[in-house]
Amino acid sequence: MNNQLFSANKIAEAHERIRPFIHRTPILSSVSINEISGTELFFKCENFQKVGAFKMRGAMNAILQLSEAAQNRGVITHSSGNHAQAVAKAAKLIGIEAQIVMPSTAPKVKVAAVEEYGAVVSFCEPTLEARQRKVEELIEKGDYTFVHPYDNLEVILGQATCAKEFIEDQADLTTLICPVGGGGLLAGTALSCKYFGNEISVVAGEPVGADDAFQSFQQKKLIPQTNPTTIADGLLTSLGKLNFPIILDNVSEIIRVDDTDIIASMRLIWERMKIIIEPSCAVPLAAVLKHPEKFANKKVGIILSGGNVDLNHYFDQLKAKNKKIGS
């Protein structure tokens, strides 16, 4: 890892920069989940963050770090997930244009969310190649700056502010665990634990059906993700080039969990904590519950990364029930 790229100062500066635009999210705990897990867990609720995910931090920092000229030309990204919403919202907050390329198969609810933030949505075939081609086309026309979802220095510094807050607000953490997809959150978390923590052990949870980070970590070389299959739709991407060496140097362990574990942990958090998290966000708790012996008698911080789920089905069913009551 290149020490010139990252420092405590740079993370602190990113934090000051984005502070007016983000929420300092609360830390919750649950007596009953503590009992079930046999350890003391602290949940940092980035599902309560703007746009419902930590992605707001990185997108905001990356956009604020652009030159005024680049900001005025606008930003672009391709994503069907939380990063799309984060770029759209961050651009809106400082009054600049955002172009979002989404696959034609993207759920309407996600397209609507991005459009609600005022971004211009373009559609393409649902392949990575088509996405990139479409982005290049649009950049040729509009000279937009591309904001990568994770393989970007300023994005990593932005995501690092989450663990920084966590450490500031809960000083006695012994362990910090977050999910890993592209590695923006995990690299940022590892950096903040290194610079601001008191020997905090950094652990990641990863779906077994998209375990490129685990494989790369084991073999100490970057292995791209191919054909991922998991309910954790935020964790399908390949680990970033910039992210990997930070993770290799500063993360203790990557724990894999299967989709059954993920859904069970998601349900536990919905039912016991009464908060909404998305499947990707349940991966760290699933990892803790799978290996309770690794976390016993610790103070474990879990980053709840996001809460964007499609609730159409639930509310359609509730409306149907209501019709039955009324009849």
Residue with Cβ nearer its own copies (74 or 205): 205
For the CB of residue 52, give the shortest distance to its own copies in the complex, in Å: 6
Selected binder of its own copies within 70, 146, 263, 290 (CB under 8 A): 263
CA angle (185 as vertex; 211, 138 as ends), nearest 5: 90
For the CB of residue 82, give the shortest distance to its own copies in the complex, in Å: 12
Where does this chain touch its own copies (CB under 8 A) — which range of 164-172, 216-224, 242-250, 258-266?
258-266
Count how many residues are written for the chain. Answer: 327
Residue numbers annotated as active site:
55, 80
Where does this chain touch its own copies (CB under 8 A) — which range of 34-42, 67-75, 99-107, 266-274?
266-274
For the CB of residue 68, give the shortest distance to its own copies in the complex, in Å: 26
Report the C-alpha gap between 91 and 83 in whole angstroms. 12
* Residue pair 99/119 in contact by the 8 Å Cβ criterion: yes
- Positive or negative torsion for Cα 50, 182, 250, 61: negative
For the CB of residue 276, give the shortest distance to its own copies in the complex, in Å: 4
Where does this chain touch its own copies (CB under 8 A) — which range of 164-172, 212-220, 292-300, 318-326?
318-326
How many chain residues interact with its own copies (CB under 8 A)?
Answer: 35
Closest to 251 (Cα-Cα) out of 159, 301, 180 = 180
302 binds its own copies (CB under 8 A): no
Selected binder of its own copies within 138, 276, 285, 287 (CB under 8 A): 276
What is the helix (H) or strand (E) element at residue 234, kind and residue range? none
CA angle (38 as vertex; 178, 210 as ends), nearest 5: 30
Residues 19-58 interacting with its own copies (rule: CB under 8 A): 26, 28, 45, 47-48, 52
Residues 201-220 interacting with its own copies (rule: CB under 8 A): 209
Selected binder of its own copies within 1, 132, 259, 290 (CB under 8 A): 259
Selected binder of its own copies within 271, 291, 292, 296 (CB under 8 A): 271
Q: What does the CA dihedral 14, 15, 20, 21 come to, rounded to 10 degrees?
A: 70
Count Cα neighbours of 176 within 13 Å in the Cβ-side half-sphere.
33
For the CB of residue 222, give the shortest distance to its own copies in the complex, in Å: 25
At 101 the three-state DSSP class reads strand
Residue with Cβ nearer its own copies (146 or 270): 270
Report the C-alpha gap between 42 and 178 in whole angstroms. 12
First vs last C-alpha separation in the chain: 66
With left for phi above 0 and alpha for psi between -120 and 50, is residue 66 left, alpha or beta? beta
DSSP 253-268: EEEEE-HHHHHHHHHH
For the CB of residue 226, give the shortest distance to its own copies in the complex, in Å: 16
**Which residues of the shown chain bind its own copies in the complex (CB under 8 A)?**
26, 28, 45, 47-48, 52, 209, 229-231, 259-260, 263, 266-267, 270-271, 273-277, 279, 307, 311, 313-315, 317-319, 321-322, 325-326
